[in-house]
Structure formats: structure tokens, C-alpha cells
Amino acid sequence: MNVATKILLVVLDGAADRPTVNRKTPLMAANLPFFDQLAREGIVGIMDVIAPGTPPGSDTAHLSLLGYSPKKVYTGRGPFEAAGVGIDVKPGDIAFRGNFATVKDGTVIDRRAGRINDTHRLAEAIREQVHLDCEFIFKESAGHRAALVLRGENLSPSITPTDPHHIGALLPSQPTTTGPSPQKTAKLVNDFTRQVRAILSDHPVNKKRSEAGELPANAILLRGAGVVPHLIPFEERTGLNAAVIAATALVIGIGKLTGMEYVPTTGATGHIDSNIDAKVKNVNRALKTHAFVLLNIKGADEAGHDGDFNTKAQFLTRVDAAMSELAIDESTLVVITADHTTPVSLREHSGDPVPFLIHGKGVRTDEINVFDEFFAALGGMNRIRGVDLVPVLTDLLGKGQKFGA
Amino acid sequence: MNVATKILLVVLDGAADRPTVNRKTPLMAANLPFFDQLAREGIVGIMDVIAPGTPPGSDTAHLSLLGYSPKKVYTGRGPFEAAGVGIDVKPGDIAFRGNFATVKDGTVIDRRAGRINDTHRLAEAIREQVHLDCEFIFKESAGHRAALVLRGENLSPSITPTDPHHIGALLPSQPTTTGPSPQKTAKLVNDFTRQVRAILSDHPVNKKRSEAGELPANAILLRGAGVVPHLIPFEERTGLNAAVIAATALVIGIGKLTGMEYVPTTGATGHIDSNIDAKVKNVNRALKTHAFVLLNIKGADEAGHDGDFNTKAQFLTRVDAAMSELAIDESTLVVITADHTTPVSLREHSGDPVPFLIHGKGVRTDEINVFDEFFAALGGMNRIRGVDLVPVLTDLLGKGQKFGA
């Protein structure tokens, strides 16, 4: 073959940063011999995942990096979280992210119910005892997390969160409604919230927690309402059968909603303790059966949110070492990038462009030998938008969608 | 004058490539002292003629390079081919590209009728003997090529090709119709196809061909249907009276439909044997009377489609030598670029950006001394879109269209 035939897209979640310690970024401070080698043999550039100066969410960023314009398809984070925790969502469903929380005297006193770990019995009670005027699906996820899906006619996603987002706030007795005729949905959310309060307050699990001095998980806070969008499957758009390897429900959900096969990895936690070696082994396996593999590695983003420069740099060093075990040759285009910048100085996503490199058959190379934010800005790819990445990659495979004749 | 007053836009059709032989592209392997000099004295960059990763057609590419957004004005290749072969098309006409072909027992056995060369008597018979329920214009072009224009009320361009695009396929008895109410047009195309079959099958030219063991040209295959768009004349948009120098009907047609004067060149074939010296002499002449000259040189694209690296590089070397006879000074902005990349490794258009250089009075220069894909990516123009080129050039003439006050 004269062209590469497969694509591995590695998203180092939140890895990009601003110069901080000694005017270096964590990528600059990290030891990245493998990424540097890929940069030397390939081409680099910077990318506005959404648009210059727009901090992407992880959801909109991944949509963009997969070639879906988030401005056209994004309705909220709920649908992707719900798909990610294993709910078989359908276009038109209204989906929410949820937290198990602790409410006392109507006031939210802990948004994570003392970082509760096992909620499966509580979730079971909710599934069995809540009765709504529409079909609903509720599923617990890792830690305090959960997802709720409402399914039925004339439902609206124009629902403000019931999650007040800071402790000490009142649990809203009813979500504010926006947009046309969402009263029905607001009533459903209100019914759900009220019934859950009643069911969980008396639940044996919570009684036991209270006795042990732990905060009871006696409420569900909802946010990220969105109608499940119809996304044209990635394979239909690109001709590439795809797999997603990730630890976070959001990225798994985006993969599922775009028709990718989710390949679970034992030991992948989404935190800085994640078993990256296991993920790399999974990638090597998935590339034997799939033409496109999306690998998300979350830890650097977490360190960014924690404002922890050294942990971020050390984690990236560890990722580089693990990735050097990739069993790939020139026939696989490898892309290393981030979904957004999470500066340790901000502890939040920022709108700085992210660096990216493309390695493999057919790419025009450049003079850059290093993978970081600064040298990426001098690379042969110049500056592109996130939504252009997949067209660039499929075109390198000789599968570009010609416009004109 | 403090600014340049004229523009020469040189489109080296399909000249851009991917690294292939010794990781070089044909532009890198070619000997280009003149282009390198222009690059040294001018500024370079890379250009997404349509969008990153989108392989342009030659039609959409040239529209873009002339400042017309193909997404807004492109309806199909037929209108430009028809204009290019000399049909005086009018906005609203439905135009097709056509091939003389060989059909046997209802099956297309040669899409080019044995690469027939002289079709003027066959075309004459079609013009005289076909009767349709609307006005039509049919004109033969070089080799096996032709164009058909339908003119009348309530015609639709939503017609699938009657050209099956591969041999051994049935000649469709009727084109598939898409979009609203195109039955009338489908019937016209069907009538045309049927009558042409009858007229050509018995034609003396074909009898003689069959006797000589040559394939008869007994059918016309149609494709590229499009309604002739209304294009604001280039001179009205830019204030520059323009000329087009090209060998291919498509580029000539785009020039004509944008109101340019077509300056024919004896010996310009559109192939790698083309008389480039004659074209350059024509350019020197045209620049005395026109403020904008579009020069298209086709050969490199042909070599790219043939997958012939050495021919492509040698042709580019020859073009550079011929272009060094340009009689220009700083008052003419010279642009050297390609309409798209045609990698010899793909033999098809790709969506890689093309390199470009701008030379002449007023341009900001950069440190780049070489004209090729790699150094262009490091140039002072960075990365722009094709549709932005003409605004950049006219602005350099001091004729930018101010937005705001």
C-alpha cells in the first residue's frame, strides 16, 4: 500500500498547558523520548479544538476531534454520560448526569455524599420504587456518579440543573424551565427528585452510613440535560470501523454514540494511578481488528485541575514510556494530541491551542524534533481546527471526500 | 506607484505532492531556480484550497483560487466544460460533460470509443438530427469529449449521470432523477441518449471505423450535470480586467463564466508535451492589456494521475525554465501555486494543502529561499484558504474592500 491504512488517535486529556515553572509547561518538563521521536519523524502543529480562545469541554472537544461539529450536534453532556455508563440511549431521549448527594433541611451539604463509593443498592431502590409519567432509566456509575434518562413524547431538554453546584445551597424544589413548553419535563424531574428523596432517606444503606458517621446519599442532583442527538456513525462518515479505549464515562459514551466499539481495560481508572500499560496493550489488540482507535488518557487533566505541575509532568513522562510499547509501523497514522489545555495555573480548561503530531506513511514532515506546545507552533501543519483533524487523517489514508470534479 | 498594479496567477495543476522517492516530492526533486528566486525575494505559505483534508476538484479549486466560494456557486462541472468548449451558456441552462463511447448490446464496452480523435462529423449529425422538446446545444471537444446544454423552462439539474463510469456496465436506459420534479429533464436526457444511439449507429464514420477494426463511437455518456450559475464577473468584483491562458476546457470555461478574456495558445495541449514557452509568451503579451492573468499549466497533474514521479519532476523543471522568460518586474504580483495536490502515490487528488508564493512590490518577505511543500509550511503567509487568495492579492494592489470605517 502507498498509503497508511489505520489511525490511532491518542488524546492526552488536558495535557496542554501554559508556561509556569521556569517558563516551562508540564509537556516541556516531562521526559518524552517516544513522542519526540514521533515528532521528529512526523509533522506537528497546533490546533484550536473548537475555536481560538474558546475553552472546550471534554465533550465538545472529543466530538470535534472525531469530526463532528459540536455547534451542530452538541445538546449537553448528559446524553454522552448516560451512554457511557451503559444506558442504551436513543435519539430523542432526554438525558442527565447525576450525583448522589447529601441534603439536610433542604440544603445541599455535600454534592458527592461523602464521596460514596458503592451506590448499587440505592440505585436499585430508585429503579424499583420511583414511578414517573414516562419511561425512565437510572443507572449508577463510578463513585457518586449516575445518569438519568427520560423517554417519551413531548419531552424537552430545556431544563436547568437541580444541582446547585455549591454546598450550602437549597436543593431546588423544581428546576427552572426554559424554552417552549417544558413544564411536562420539569414536572417529571421534580417528581423524580421528590420521590428519590423519600426513598433514599429511609434506605437501610443510608441508615447504616449515618450510624457510622458517614454522610447519607439521600438525594440525586441532576445536570447536563440534553436531548440525545442523532449522530451519523463514525464508520458511515469515514469508512473506518472504530474502537474507543477510555476510562471516563463521557469519552466511552461519545464513542458509543458514534457507533464505536468500546474496549474495556482492566485497571484503567481515569486517574493518575491508571494502568496505562494495560491500555496500550488493548490498543495493540484493537488495531488488529479496527481501522480507527481512539485512546483517551485522563490523568494529566486531573493533575491540571488539581493545579499540580509536578504530578502532571510525571504522569506525562509515564504515559510516554508506556506508549513506546505501541506495536505500530508506518501503516498506522499515529496522532498525539490533547482535547484541551488545562493550565495548572488556572485549574480549569482554557482556550489555548493544543499541540498535535501526526506520524506515519505519506505525511509531509518538518524540522521539529520535540513534542510540546512551543515547537508545535513552529511545525509544518501550522494551525488547524479540531473539526478538520479527521478529514486531514482520512485524506492521508486516500479516503478524502472530494468536493468537485 | 507604491503598489503593484497587476497580478499573474500561475496554477501548476496538481503540482503538489506527498514525500515519496527519498522522502522528496516532485517539487523538491525538480530543479526550480526561477521559482526558488521568487520564493527568496517574496513570501510563501501553504493553502487549503477548499478546506483541510478536502480533496478539491479542478473546478471547485479554480473557483476558490479566483475568490468564488465553491460552496455557494458550484453546481457541477458541466457548465464550465460547456463554456470551455465554446458554448455560449447562459445562467439557468442545464449543462453536461459528455463522452463519445462504444456501446454493444446495451453495455458500455469503451468509455472513450477507442480514444476517437475526430468527432466533428458525428457531432454535426447529432446537432442536425436530434429533436428534443427544448432547445439544446451539443458541441464536440478534444478527443472523445463533448458537452451538452439543455435550455428551456422548468429544467432540473438533479439528474444522475448516464455515464456508468466503468466498462461492462449497462448504458442506463434512463437517468435516475433526484430532487423535485426532474422528470421532464430526465425524459429529455433519455430522448437525447436514445436518438443519439440510433443516429450514430448507422453513421458512415462508424461504419468505416468498424471496417477498420476500430471501436465505433455510437453513444454519448453524460455526467457532471449542473445548472449554469450566475457568477459576478471577476472584473466587477476586483476592478481588474482579466485574461485566462489555459489548455483545458474546464479552466477556459471557468475563465469565460467569470468574464475573462480567453487567450488561445497554439501548441498548448494540456499534456506534458505542452508548449509552455508559447504560453509564457502569451502571458507576457496579455499582461500588457490585462491587470489579471490566470495561467494554468496542466501537465504535472497528468503525471500525478499516472503515478509517474520522474515525469512530474521533469515537467516541473521544464516549467520553471520556461517561466524564467516572464517579462515582469516588481509591479506585477506573481503567484505560483497549485490547485490541489495529486500525489503520485495516490494517482488522485488529495486534500493536502498546496504551497504558494507571492512575489512583487509590497509583499512582506520571509526567510524561505525554496519553493516546495515543506518550506512553504514554514513561510510568512502561514496557512490560508484558497478563497482568501484573491482578497489578499487585490489588497496588495491597494484595492482591498474595506469592512467598517
- The letter for the amino acid at B198 is A
Helix (H, G, I), strand (E, B) or coil at B244: strand
Q: Which of B23, B53, B374 sits opposite A388 (nearest CB)?
A: B53
The H or E element containing residue A160 is none
In a domain, A44, yes or no: yes
In a domain, A405, yes or no: no
DSSP string covering B58-93? HHHHHHHHTT--HHHH---SHHHHHHHTT----TT-
Q: Which residues pair with B332 in a beta bridge?
A: B6
Q: pLDDT tens digits for A283-336?
A: 999 999 999 999 999 999 999 999 999 999 999 999 999 999 999 999 999 999
Instruction: Kindly report the number of other CB atoms within 10 A of residue B307's CB atom.
Output: 17
In a domain, B279, yes or no: yes
Instruction: Provide the 8-state DSSP code for B17.
Output: -
User: For the CA atoms of chain A, what is the radius of gyration?
Assistant: 22
Closest listed residue to residue A38, CA positions, set A1, A12, A63: A12
Tell me, yes or no, whether B205 and B335 share the same domain: no
Tell me, yes or no, whether A223 and A299 share the same domain: no
Shortest Cα–Cα distance, B309 to chain A (Å): 13
Tell me, yes or no, whether A382 and A266 share the same domain: yes
For residues A174 and A159, is the Cβ–Cβ distance under 8 A? Answer: no
Q: Which of A378, A383, A403 sits opposite B70 (nearest CB)?
A: A403
Distance between CA atoms of A375 and B29, rounded to whole angstroms?
27
Q: Which of B56, B343, B373 sits opposite A403 (nearest CB)?
A: B56
- pLDDT above 90: percentage of residues in chain B: 86
Give the confidence band of A167 by pLDDT, cuts at 50, 70, 90: confident
Shortest Cα–Cα distance, A240 to chain B (Å): 16
- The letter for the amino acid at B243 is A
- pLDDT at A180 exceeding the cut of 60: no
- pLDDT at A181 exceeding the cut of 80: no
In a domain, B40, yes or no: yes
Tell me, yes or no, whether A174 and A68 share the same domain: no
For residues A146 and A246, is the Cβ–Cβ distance under 8 A? Answer: no
Tell me, yes or no, whether B44 and B190 share the same domain: no
Region B325-343: what's the mean pLDDT?
97
In a domain, A337, yes or no: yes
Tell me, yes or no, whether B184 and B254 share the same domain: no
pLDDT of residue A152: 93
pLDDT of residue A1: 66
Q: Angle B52-B54-B59 (CA atoms, 0-180°, nearest 5)?
A: 120
- pLDDT at B5 exceeding the cut of 70: yes
All three cell numbers of A364: 509531509
CB contact set of A87 (below 8 Å; sequence gap of 6+): A95, A137, A139, A147, A149
Burial (CB count <10 Å: 0-12, 13-18, 19+), residue A223 = buried
Give the confidence band of A85 by pLDDT, cuts at 50, 70, 90: very high
Q: pLDDT tens digits for A246-279?
A: 999 999 999 999 999 999 998 888 888 889 999 9
pLDDT of residue B307: 96
Give the confidence band of B160 by pLDDT, cuts at 50, 70, 90: confident
Q: pLDDT tens digits for A4-24?
A: 999 999 999 999 999 998 999
- pLDDT at B166 exceeding the cut of 80: no
pTM listed for this prediction: 0.93
Helix (H, G, I), strand (E, B) or coil at B300: helix
C-beta atoms of A404 and B74 within 8 A: yes
C-beta atoms of A402 and B377 within 8 A: no
If you measure CA to CA, which chain B residue comes closest to A44? Answer: B377
Instruction: Kindly report the number of other CB atoms within 10 A of residue A74's CB atom.
Output: 18
**Look-up of cell digits 465553491:** B70
Tell me, yes or no, whether A13 and A109 share the same domain: no
Distance between CA atoms of B216 and B197, rounded to whole angstroms?
11
If you measure CA to CA, which chain A residue comes closest to B49? Answer: A403
pLDDT of residue B288: 97
- pLDDT at A168 exceeding the cut of 80: no
- Least confident residue range of A63-77, A261-275, B384-398: A261-275
Distance between CA atoms of B14 and A405, rounded to whole angstroms?
13
Shortest Cα–Cα distance, B88 to chain A (Å): 21
Q: Which of A171, A206, A227 is the last residue of a domain?
A: A227
CB contact set of A238 (below 8 Å; sequence gap of 6+): A67, A292, A390, A394, A399
- pLDDT at A123 exceeding the cut of 80: yes
If you measure CA to CA, which chain A residue comes closest to B24? Answer: A364
Burial (CB count <10 Å: 0-12, 13-18, 19+), residue B76 = buried
Q: A-B interface: how many C-beta pairs under 8 angstroms?
A: 101
Region A160-176: what's the mean pLDDT?
75
pLDDT of residue B170: 78
Higher pLDDT, B51 or A2: B51
If you measure CA to CA, which chain B residue comes closest to A387? Answer: B52
C-beta atoms of B19 and A391 within 8 A: no
C-beta atoms of B352 and A395 within 8 A: yes
Ramachandran category for residue B234: left, alpha or beta (phi over 0 → left; psi -120 to 50 → alpha): alpha
Number of domains in chain A: 2
Chain A residues touching B61 at Cβ < 8 A: 404
In a domain, A392, yes or no: yes
Instruction: Provide the 8-state DSSP code for B65.
Output: H
C-beta atoms of B61 and A404 within 8 A: yes
The H or E element containing residue A335 is strand A332-337
Give the confidence band of A174 by pLDDT, cuts at 50, 70, 90: low
Tell me, yes or no, whether A141 and A183 share the same domain: yes
pLDDT of residue A42: 97
Q: pLDDT tens digits for A29-38?
A: 999 999 999 9
Higher pLDDT, A129 or B161: A129
Q: Would strands A135-140 and A145-151 be described as parallel, antiparallel, or unpaired?
A: antiparallel
The H or E element containing residue B340 is none
Q: Which of B192, B208, B227 is the last residue of a domain?
A: B227
Distance between CA atoms of B271 and B306, rounded to whole angstroms?
12
Distance between CA atoms of B102 and B302, rounded to whole angstroms?
24
Tell me, yes or no, whether B246 and B387 share the same domain: yes
All three cell numbers of B217: 463511437
- pLDDT above 90: percentage of residues in chain A: 87
Closest listed residue to residue B309, CA positions, set B14, B57, B59: B14
All three cell numbers of A234: 463514525
- The letter for the amino acid at A75 is T
- pLDDT above 70: percentage of residues in chain B: 97
For residues B42 and B355, is the Cβ–Cβ distance under 8 A? Answer: no
Tell me, yes or no, whether B199 and B87 share the same domain: yes
Tell me, yes or no, whether A113 and A214 share the same domain: yes
Per residue, the 3-state secondary structure of A59-94, as one string, reads HHHHHHHCCCCHHHHCCCCHHHHHHHCCCCCCCCCE
In a domain, B121, yes or no: yes
Instruction: Kindly report the number of other CB atoms within 10 A of residue A288's CB atom.
Output: 8
Give the confidence band of A154 by pLDDT, cuts at 50, 70, 90: confident
Q: Which of B227, B246, B279 is the last residue of a domain?
A: B227
Chain A residues touching B70 at Cβ < 8 A: 403-404
Range of the domain at B121: 81-227
**Look-up of cell digits 496522532:** A335
